[in-house]
Structure formats: C-alpha cells, structure tokens
C-alpha cells in the first residue's frame, strides 16, 4: 500500500498546519506547542483532531529529535 508521501502528498497537522513526522504507527505533529499524534490504522492515517492524542512534552521532544527510550 502506498503511503501519502509516496504519492506526493505532504501531510500537515489539521490542528496547527505544521508538518507531520511519519512513524510506523502514527504521525506526530512537529510543532512544540501542539504535539498531536495521529494514529495510522490499516495504513490509513486518522487525521481527526477528535481522535488525536497530545504527547507529553518530554516524549514529543524525544520523538522529533530521533532519540529512543531504553
Ligand atoms: Zn499540530
């Protein structure tokens, strides 16, 4: 199945319009004040603000900076 990026679509956060970081199971908003995450279910991103979860700031920072928790 093609991801949105593969067909040339850059997804943005529906809340704040910042770029989203693609992860295997979710998209993460790259805006430090927003920090919403959008689940990907069966390859389809659930881009609904109502379904989004806000990452704690520490988790968000680790995610966007590429660090891994032990
Ligand atoms: Zn956002």
Q: How remote is the CA of residue 50 from the centroid of ligand 1, in Å? A: 13
CA distance 51 to 10: 20
The per-residue pLDDT for range 2-32, each reduced to its tens digit, is: 776 677 777 899 999 999 999 999 999 999 9
Indicate the CATH number for domain 1-65: 2.20.25.10
DSSP calls for 4-60: TTTTT---B-TTT--BEEE-SSEEEE--TTT-EEEEEETTEE---GGG-EEPPHHHH
Predicted model pTM: 0.80
Q: How remote is the CA of residue 35 from the centroid of ligand 1, in Å? A: 6
Closest CA relative to residue 36, chosen from 10, 9, 64, 8: 64
């Amino acid at each position: 199945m093609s991801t949105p990026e593969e067909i040339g679509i850059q997804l943005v956060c529906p809340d704040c319009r910042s770029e989203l970081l693609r992860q295997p199971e979710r998209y993460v908003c790259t805006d430090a004040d927003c920090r919403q995450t959008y689940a990907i279910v069966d390859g389809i991103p659930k881009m609904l603000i109502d379904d989004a979860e806000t990452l704690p700031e520490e988790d968000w920072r680790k995610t966007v900076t590429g660090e891994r928790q032990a």
